[in-house]
Structure 1
Amino acid sequence: MTVTLFEHPLSPYSQKNKIALREKGVAFEVVTPEAMGTGHVAGQFAAANPRGEVPALIDGDTSVFDSTIIQDYIEESWPTPALLPATPAQRARVRMIEEIMDTQYEAITWGMMEVRVFDRAPGAAGEALLARARGQLDGLHAWLTTQLGDADWFNGAAFGWGDIAVIPFVLGATGYGCGPAPDSALGKWVKRCLARPSVSQSAAEAQAAASAVTDSGLLKAALASGAFKREYRDHRLEWMLRSGGLEVLQAGMAAGNIRFSHELK
């Protein structure tokens, strides 16, 4: 039976699930929803995730959405090799790291994409937002370095859940030139992760998708027309407001090219 993952290669949340499936040797197919980014959700994707967000996983008669819930489903459905550490305390620790990455870290790199790829804030306003982002990433990298300590892996003795929770996001920041220094403890950890086929394949897919976005003017044109809308949900909205991007939000709402979480009707 084929496992299907609705995803976008640039989504670090989707990358988490792909890395987990590949680590466990689970065969799966990936599908990027046709209407993704428009705010319109239909068909099998809507049935799998009424919020209209990637990732969503279908395994036979079972549909699961939200990257962390999907990770739990993967771990319980294919328990070998185990990705979660052994003790309750260790499991709680990696899940707390995951929460920070899913909320605070992702919001920063998402905001950087708004400025650098979609030109939401040209000139001094954009530079101010990027400066805020760089400072925030420095703080998070310092925190991650403390969490890693002297270990090779966030998960403990071996690569696992904690590392999968971190690596897609750090690679996203690295793509913007804001990753950890290569010779730092965190930078060396990134190299160890990229030596794993599960990570390197997902990273290559993301890089190819990023090139397609930046090399084509079609997406920017769709954004300008309102046909493509960027989702400003919870932590992303908070980041833009507290980092000085209120005018970005106001302009996007006026232009009709931002959206919020899909309403269930």
Structure 2
Amino acid sequence: MTVTLWDHPLSPYAQKVKIALREKGVPFETAVPGGIGVGGAAGDFLAANPRAEVPALLHDGTAIFDSTIILEYIEDYWPDPALLPATPADRARVRMIEEVVDTHLEAVNWGLSELRWFRRAEGPLGESLATKAAEQIRGYHAWLERALGDRPWFNGDSFGWGDLSVVPYLNGSAGHGVPPAPGSRLADWLARANDRPSVRDTVADAAATASTGGMGDVAKLLEQGLFKREYRDHRLEWMVKSGGLEVVTQGLARGNIRFSPDLT
């Protein structure tokens, strides 16, 4: 059995897949695609995922893309230990949590990365966008705390799908200086989630990439047109609704933003 994950250690979508594989005890290899930062992905990676996004999973000749579909494949192929809760209602509940963090909270974290790493907007515009992002993240923290309720884990009595879906995004927000409120149930949950070996190893992968300059001077590369950020769906919506339309128009004019490729 060969399992290869097309990955970038800083991608929260890839992180949740790695956590799932580690929770299942499935050995896997990772590969970082070339050319993805400039919209020039090609070869085996593009064959595995025509959207040219990480993650993509290769398992004994089968290629799967989209992090949620990959999680479903992992759960189907390696059902033990189960990551989804037992009842249909609880399964729907954690899938809805995953959808919110994948398409809402991810976009806010991504927007802060645009400001922090790529320096898309500075001065009053940058300050305004950062302030709105922090307010939005605190709103999602409140929503997630209500979703957690009195449960020890988002999944219920044990760590699972709901938890591995949330932890990459809360760690991402914390990395941008907006952690859960100290002493909150959500902060306590995050500390316990980060203590799990599957999460700890995945966080270590990301930290190693960051500490060795894995991002490089991406703002300079962006300015030179050597790096293009993907402004797809929820990310584009976040930037526009939060007041960053100018960022989008400048990026289009400079050719340093991109969208999902057309399929051929």
In structure 1, C-alpha distance between the alignment counterparts of 2:80 and 2:2, rounded to whole Å: 18
**TM-fit CA distance, 1:216:** 3.2
Give 2:224's aligned residue.
225
Structure 1 letter corresponding to 2:75: E
For 1:74 and 1:49, locate their aligned partners in 2 and report how far apart those are by CA, in whole Å.
Answer: 17
> Is this contact kept in 2: 1:170–1:179, CA < 8 A?
yes
Instruction: Determine the C-alpha separation between the residues in 1 that align with 2:262 and 2:212.
Output: 30
**How many Å separate the matches in 1 of 2:208 and 2:29?**
18
1:205 CA drift (Å):
1.5
Residues 1:12 and 2:30 aligned together:
no
Q: What SS does the corresponding residue of 1:90 show, helix, strand or coil?
A: helix
Identity of aligned residues (%): 59
Cα distance in structure 1, aligned partners of 2:42 and 2:127: 38
Residue 28 of structure 1 corresponds to: 28
For residue 34 of structure 1, report the CA deviation from its aligned partner: 1.1
**Which residue in the other structure is 1:47 paired with?**
47
In the aligned structure 1, how far is the partner of 2:211 from the partner of 2:251? 24
Q: Which residue is equivalent to 1:199?
A: 199
Secondary structure of 1:37's counterpart equals helix
TM-score, scaled to structure 2: 0.97
Question: How much does 1:40 deviate?
Answer: 1.5
The 3 A distance-change label for structure 1 pair 215 and 45 is: closer
Please give the alpha-carbon distance, in whole angstroms, between the structure 1 residues aligned to 2:89 and 2:58.
30
Q: What does 1:166-177 align with in structure 2 at a 5 Å threshold?
A: 166-177=166-177
Q: For residues 242 and 126 of structure 1, do their structure 2 counterparts lie closer, same or farther at Cα, with a shift above 3 Å needed?
A: same
Rounded Cα–Cα distance in structure 1 between residues aligned with 2:212 and 2:172: 15
User: What is the distance in 2 between the residues matched to 1:134 and 1:230?
Assistant: 21
Which residue pairs with 2:61 in the alignment? Answer: 61
Kindly provide the amino acid, as one letter, of the partner of residue 258 in structure 1: I
Report the CA distance between 1:214 and its aligned residue. 7.9
**TM-aligned CA deviation for residue 208 of structure 1:** 2.5
1:182 and 1:262 map into 2 onto residues whose CA distance is 42
Per-residue CA deviation, residues 141-183 of structure 1 (Å, 9 max, x unaligned), is: 0000001111110000100000011000000000011010232
User: Structure 2 CA distance, aligned partners of 1:91 and 1:106?
Assistant: 21
Contact 2:20 2:71 in 1 (8 A): yes
Superposed displacement of residue 227, structure 1:
1.7
Cα drift, residue 207 of structure 1: 2.2
**Superposition deviation, residue 203 in structure 1:** 1.0
Distance in 2 between residues matched to 1:215 and 1:233, nearest whole Å: 21
1: CA distance between counterparts of 2:144 and 2:80? 27
**1:246-261 alignment to 2 at 5 Å?**
246-261=245-260
Match of 2:240 in 1: 241
C-alpha RMSD of matched pairs (Å): 1.2
TM-aligned CA distance change 1:178 to 1:224, over 3 Å: same
Task: Say whether the 8 Å CA contact 1:117–1:214 is kept in structure 2.
Answer: no
Is the Cα contact below 8 Å between 2:13 and 2:55 reproduced in 1?
Answer: yes
* Residue 215 (structure 1) shift: 7.3
CA 1:211–1:220 in 2, change beyond 3 Å: closer, same or farther? Answer: farther
Structure 1 unmatched ranges of 5 or more: none
- CA contact under 8 A between 2:16 and 2:168: conserved in structure 1? yes
Cα drift, residue 190 of structure 1: 0.5
Q: Which residue number corresponds to residue 263 of structure 2?
A: 264
Q: Which amino acid aligns with 1:106?
A: E
1:154 aligns with 154
In the TM superposition, structure 1's runs of 4+ consecutive aligned residues that sit over 6 Å from their partners are none
SS of aligned partner of 1:223: helix
Tell me the amino acid that sits aligned with residue 253 of structure 2.
A
2: CA distance between counterparts of 1:168 and 1:117? 18
Tell me, yes or no, if the aligned pair for 1:13 and 1:67 is still in contact at 8 Å.
Answer: yes
CA distance in 2, matches of 1:11, 1:212: 16
> Structure 2: 5+ residue runs without aligned partners?
none
Give the superposition deviation at 1:2. Answer: 1.7
